[in-house]
Amino acid sequence: MTVAPEGRSGSIHLVGGGALTAADAPLYAPFFAEAAARGRAAGRARPRIAVISVHPANPTPAGVLVDVLAAAGEFDPHVTAVRGGEEVGLAALAEVDGIVVGGGIVEEVRDGLEPLFDEIRRQVADGVPYLGVSAGAMIAAEAALGGGSRVDGIVVSPEDPDEPGEELEIGGGIGLVDVAVEAHVAQRGTLSRLVAAVESGLIGGALGIDERTVLVVGEGGLRVEGSGSVWQVLPGERGVAVATVGA
């Protein structure tokens, strides 16, 4: 697995969800340190961090993200909060030292941020770190997984027996990492969905991240921190190979 941008790229921090209290601040600390260093290089005493939320309950989720980041250190929040169906404007990324995208309904988060995909890639390639939580982590991939619990009509992950599920949806993502990303994996039982998607050829590979767990992708390779696991699902000689990414 590689990071799409090259050179002096900012790191990619992917949080599997569920880490939204002050006690979870250590998971955000590596991102914050990188943003703070970039801010100092630009002459800012405190980093200016874009906090973007596309969520049905906005603006509340944006405030939660700000509080969690504030537990990691002092910063100037540049908050943009919209509801699903609305697009995020380019001003959300103006002169920032780090980019944070929160969770929500994956398709809505992806659609809301899509006009900014090119600019996000440009900034990350220029050294701005990116942190995605839940849906914000999932849309960081080239192929962004959406809703759906079936592949070729076969149930591949838990669904309500009274409400038959839909086919797994895959759309275009930001392209910061070259394999698909799934969040809440252990909590929602979706590792099997990744296995089925890779085995069927819908995606070439995937990373599944448990809640309260962060995967950091940077020049030093992959690093895992938190209480859960990160699952790597790749095509194998006899089907699909599944392994955990080391801490």
Q: What is the 3-state secondary structure (H, E, C) of 79-122?
A: EEEECCCCCCCHHHHCCCCEEEECCCCHHHHHHHHHHHHHHHHH
Contact (CB, 8 A) for 95 and 48: yes
Q: Is residue 198 pLDDT above 90, yes or no? A: yes
Q: Enter the tokens of residue 176.
A: 């910061």
- Residues pairing with 53 in the sheet: 81
Confidence of residue 6 (pLDDT cuts 50, 70, 90): very low
Taking the C-alpha atoms of residue 218 and residue 3, their distance in angstroms, rounded to an integer, is 7
pLDDT tens figures, 141-174: 999 999 999 999 999 999 877 777 899 999 999 9
Q: Is residue 5 pLDDT above 70, yes or no? A: no
Alpha-helical (H) ranges within 106-236 are: 106-113, 117-125, 135-138, 185-188, 191-200
pLDDT tens figures, 201-219: 999 999 999 999 999 999 8
pLDDT tens figures, 8-52: 689 999 999 999 999 999 999 999 999 999 999 999 999 999 999
CA dist 132 to 4, 104, 122, 162, Å? 16, 11, 16, 32
Give all domains of the chain, ordered by start, each with its CATH number: 12-244 (3.40.50.880)
The burial of 187, by beta-carbon neighbours within 10 Å (0-12 exposed, 13-18 middle, 19 or more buried), is given as middle
pLDDT score, position 247: 53
Residue 139: CA count within 13 A, CB half-sphere: 30
Share of the chain above pLDDT 90, in %: 89
Confidence of residue 94 (pLDDT cuts 50, 70, 90): very high
Residue 215 CA, chain-centre distance (Å), reads 9
Residue 163 CA, chain-centre distance (Å), reads 28
